[in-house]
Structure formats: C-alpha cells, structure tokens
Structure 1
C-alpha cells in the first residue's frame, strides 16, 4: 500500500465508493461515515470514487506463533507436523527464543493489517508465556486478537478463552468447565484427520468447532441440534493432505466462518481463503463473504464484520479500478473470487 493507504486506527472520517451495506452486502453508492471508531451512518449519494467499501475481515482460526517456521516440514504428515507435544512445529516453537517468536508474529500482524484483517481468533501455544508473547507482538497493531490459550487453565484465565487441540489428544473437561465459569470462549479442533474425535468434541458443548473435514451425517445432525458454529480452513486442509470440508453440507446445518489456520503452511490471507471457499462450494458470493466477516465476528462476539451504523469502523476499501477488478460485473462475486491484497486501497481499523 501507499503511504496514504496505511491502516487507520480509531479514526473519524468517511469512505466513499460502492458500499457493501449490511449483512446482505447490498451495493450502495455513497459513503460510510465514522466517528471515534464507530460507524454512524451509511449515506446514499453520487460520489466520485471507484472504491469498493466492505467490512474488514475476521480470520476465525489462526496459529500465528507458527510464523517462526514458515514452510518447514515438507512431506510430513499432519501428526508429524503439528501434533502436540512433539510435532515439528512444537519443537521449533520450543527452540525459538522469545524475541524470535515475538518478532516473527509482529511481521504476521503487519501482513494481516495490510491485507484488511480486522481481527483474528488465535489458538495460542505456550501456556501463559505464549499468551504474553502474542500480546507483546500485537501491542502496536490495529488487528484485534481474540486469544485462546492452550496447554493449561492459567493460559485461559490470562486470555479470552481456551483453544483445544482435539478430543483425542487429552481430556478437556476441566478446561471446558473453567471457560464456563469465566464466561469465555471454548473452541476445539474436530474431524481434521478422521471422524473419531467429533462426537467427543461435541460432548464438550464447545462454542465452536474447527475443521470438520470428516464430518458424517450423525455429526451434522448433532451440530445442527446444538447450534455449534464451524470454522473451516480449506487451504490448510489441502496443504496438510487431510481432505477438504464439505462446505455446502456444513453450511446447510450451521453458521460457517473462515480461518487461515497455521502460518506455518499458509499466508494469513483472507482473500485467498475466500477464493478457495467459493470455488469449493456452490454457496453464493454473499454467503462466502459472510464467512470471512460477519460470521467470524459473531463467533468471537465482536462488533464488526458488517457495514452498518453502530458497528465498529473496521473497514476495507478496494480499488475498483485496479487492473484486476476493472470490468467486474458482479461486485460481491469479484471481491470474493478475484480480489487480492494488491487491490487494497485503504484499511480503517
């Protein structure tokens, strides 16, 4: 981005262009007015701007501590790569100094900010020290971190909740009960490698599940009955060779959000994740865009992800006259299937 398109934090002002308004992303020519970090109005008007204005993204599942090990472990299985406690990523995390870990995460925060991400839900390894590290890394970033501690209840108490690895890895009853007492989020990986951990994960009554690549009909019935949202990460699933989620089937049963998962194997680009989700499903462009914005915000209980009055002014403006987006007939479809970080004109966080 150019200097005048650097992310704005806590700003007041306006963004003009074609505004994707509300949960339906209705294209409206005009401007978004925001004051002290809150959207106060969407004004319909004729404007001289090619911008496309939409809510900034909510990345509903990340492991950005893995930024220390980008593209490590080619050819390893999922278990060899990320399974606790001795998967490659966990060994590399232990070997890294605190300063190395924080510096790597700072670079990822900078990328997410530039790529229009307003917030992310982080499954944070390393116990209390891991929570402290991400707070240090994100201290000067406008990207909001919803941090789910791991490995110990104390990490949950220090953070916004607990992020469990999977029901086959350990008994998480204690952590689940602790999050209930604290009124905090409890998320858990399920159905990533196979279906064996899905029922035990659902037995914990989680606030959300991650992956569900191997969800079966009975699992989907339970997900629907319990109203448990699911975060899908198709690029990560493909990279780790575990299969792909049935996005259509999951969407028929529950709220779906998008995450980029491990920074080890994926750049945390919601543009890329949007394209994958759109091309792996029959969902409309609006349904897919909601997965990257409003739905993730709902899961994390954030007041963003929608361009409407009263919401936090976390906004993304794309250059609708870029070489990539010029000539797009369906603007929402163009944003979802073709836009990239190169099209970002301005970010307001």
Structure 2
C-alpha cells in the first residue's frame, strides 16, 4: 500500500465510470485524487481502479476444499448446513487466522474492499473485525444470528430460511443499517418475498424470472452475481444463469462477488476471467461489476478527481500483456497478481 502524500504516478489510466483509457499523471494528496493531467509520452504503467468483492463468506476459509457431497441446502443452509457445523467447532483463533489469510489473498489480487455475510452472531462479527485489523482492505460486515446489531447491517439467507426476517429488517432499518438477501439462488420462489422488504442489495438472483429482474431494476436494487460458485455448487449450467446479459440489457446495477471460500478462492481476477469467458459480457461491463461494489458503502470506486484514492498500479512490461491492444479486456481476461506492483488506497 502507498500512503505517501503527495503521491504522483504516471501511466495509462482507466478513468471515470466509463473506464476510458487516457495517458495521465495522477496526483494524490491526503488520500484524495487532487489532479489528473494528460501526458504526451507513452507511459510504462497501467493505473486501474481497485476491485471490490461484493459478496464473501470468509469464515468458510477453515473448510477450504473439504471433500463434500450433497445439495446446496446440505452444505450451506443455516443453521445446520455442513459449513455451519464446521464453523461452530472451529476455535476462534483458527477462524480469525483463516479469515485474515483470505483477506491477504484478496489484497494480493487487487481487492481493497469486500462485503461479507458473517455467521456467528456478535462474536462472529468481532472475529472478522479482528481478522481485518491493520490490513489494507475495508470490510463491510453484514451480520447474522444477532450480529446484525453490531455490524454494518443484515446479511440474510433466503427469506424462507429465516423465521424472523421481518424483525431483522425492522431493526436494521431503525439503526440506519444495510439489508441484504440471498435470493433466487436455486429457484425464483423466494425472490418476491425478499423484494417485499425493499433490500439494499440482492445476492445471486441466479434463477430470477424476467419479470422479477424488471422489478429489481425498477426498484434500483443492485444485484451481486457469483458465477464460479453457482457453477461449482450446481445451481448454474449455462450462460443464462445468473442472467448477466439480461441484467445489463435492462440497465441494472451489477456487482461481482466470489461467495464461499469453502469452494472458491476470493480472487476477483479469476472471477472476472470466468465471467467474461462464460457469459461473454463486454469486458468493460465485467470490470465495472468488479469495481462498482464500492457503491455499497457510498463510495465511487472509480478514478476521478475529488474521489478517494483507491487504485492499482500495474507493470505490463515484464509480461506478454505489454502487447495489449485493449487494457480493459486484458485486465479482465489475463491479469494475474504478479503484475500488480502497487496499491494506492484510502480506507476511510
């Protein structure tokens, strides 16, 4: 992480929400991008907005790649799914160590913020805060099982899995906190009930109907898709699920997340490459989805004057990516962590 003030870097940057390529010099003072000035010489660096992982379950790190069989409900449904039984038996110190290691892995692959559905009540929230302490990655913690009251909001499983969803939402709203739901991961039946609560965020929508998608877009609710997890868990088997192309066609707000570390590495570079390959969405749309999750906490996430500094400096010269004819496409399809030479970040 770079926090020297003022900090000046020159490179080919992806600027603004449209991620337009420009050769510029960027100045950062006290954590704010104070100027972006054009340059005429060919730069030797790429400057790219950092990524925001809009959906994680970092506690699952302690069950990484555990040989597991069964339905999605058998594996992850609260309160007695396999992951919940493992979490309940894991010593706190080991849980913290696991989550901290996954946060470090995210930082190494260009992620500087994430939104986590945190099991374990208030103690679970405290454990994640401890795991993230001192690391250059901002957590947004959406608590469960009583953790809603001491976190940034409520991370609710399917509305059909939680008996007191109305109470949870009411309390979260009273405290000015976020409300997020898993919905339509396996089938669309729980999505309308989730929409009745007017959530701030929906996760998955893998099997949302077209009418439901239209309603979500009309309500202005962002959708977080987690393609690799959906495929691995058997709830997706084609580019129609999750309906990435349709969400974009309708003008919806699309975020990208990696979901359970039990099954999928929390690596947004891999998530982008998979999404671009399977769903064939334009690279700029996939890249925006990997950045725009910062909006969950009211941040821009994009490289603009007056915004908080939150970007990556990439050295393309030591890899074949120096031959790129489209920086956005190359970032999405080919970038690996070895080319990220610096992270410039303002946490608060």
Class of the TM-score when normalised by the shorter of the 2 chains: over 0.9
Return the offset for 1:76. 3.0
Q: Deviations over 1:143-166 (max 9, x none)?
A: 0001111112xx222111110011
Matches within 5 A, 1:198-217: 198-217=191-210
TM-score (norm 2): 0.93
Whether 1:58 aligns to 2:56 is no
Return the offset for 1:280. 2.8
Q: Between Structure 1 and Structure 2, how many residues are aligned? A: 339
Change (3 A) 1:47 1:268: farther
SS at match of 1:222: helix
Return the offset for 1:291. 0.5
Return the offset for 1:141. 0.5
SS at match of 1:42: strand
The answer to whether the Cα contact below 8 Å between 1:304 and 1:313 also exists between their aligned partners in 2 is no
Whether 1:192 aligns to 2:185 is yes
Q: Deviations over 1:305-333 (max 9, x none)?
A: 10011211111112222324121111111
What runs of 5+ residues in structure 2 fail to find an aligned partner? Answer: none
* Distance of 1:110 and 1:89 partners within structure 2: 22
* Distance of 2:60 and 2:3 partners within structure 1: 26
Q: Deviations over 1:225-282 (max 9, x none)?
A: 2121100000110111111301001222310000011111111111111112222334
2:95 paired residue among 80, 91, 101: 101
1:13 paired residue among 7, 12, 17: 7
Change (3 A) 1:208 1:10: farther
* Distance of 1:21 and 1:123 partners within structure 2: 31
Map of 2:312 onto structure 1: 316
1:161 paired residue among 138, 146, 153: 153
* Distance of 1:122 and 1:9 partners within structure 2: 26
Map of 1:277 onto structure 2: 275
Change (3 A) 1:211 1:11: farther
* Distance of 2:187 and 2:249 partners within structure 1: 21
1:221 paired residue among 214, 217, 220: 214
Return the offset for 1:224. 2.2
Change (3 A) 1:347 1:230: same
| Root mean square deviation, CA, Å | 1.5
TM-score (norm 1): 0.93
2:39 paired residue among 31, 36, 45: 45
* Distance of 2:41 and 2:258 partners within structure 1: 35
Map of 1:174 onto structure 2: 167
Q: Deviations over 1:23-59 (max 9, x none)?
A: 1111111222111211111121145642111111011
Return the offset for 1:194. 1.2
The answer to whether the Cα contact below 8 Å between 1:324 and 1:339 also exists between their aligned partners in 2 is no
Return the offset for 1:10. 7.1
* Distance of 2:6 and 2:300 partners within structure 1: 16
Map of 1:325 onto structure 2: 321
Change (3 A) 1:27 1:98: same
The answer to whether the Cα contact below 8 Å between 2:46 and 2:313 also exists between their aligned partners in 1 is yes
* Distance of 1:96 and 1:347 partners within structure 2: 33
Map of 2:294 onto structure 1: 297
SS at match of 2:322: coil
Change (3 A) 1:11 1:112: farther
Map of 1:3 onto structure 2: none
SS at match of 1:94: helix
SS at match of 1:278: helix
* Distance of 1:10 and 1:60 partners within structure 2: 28
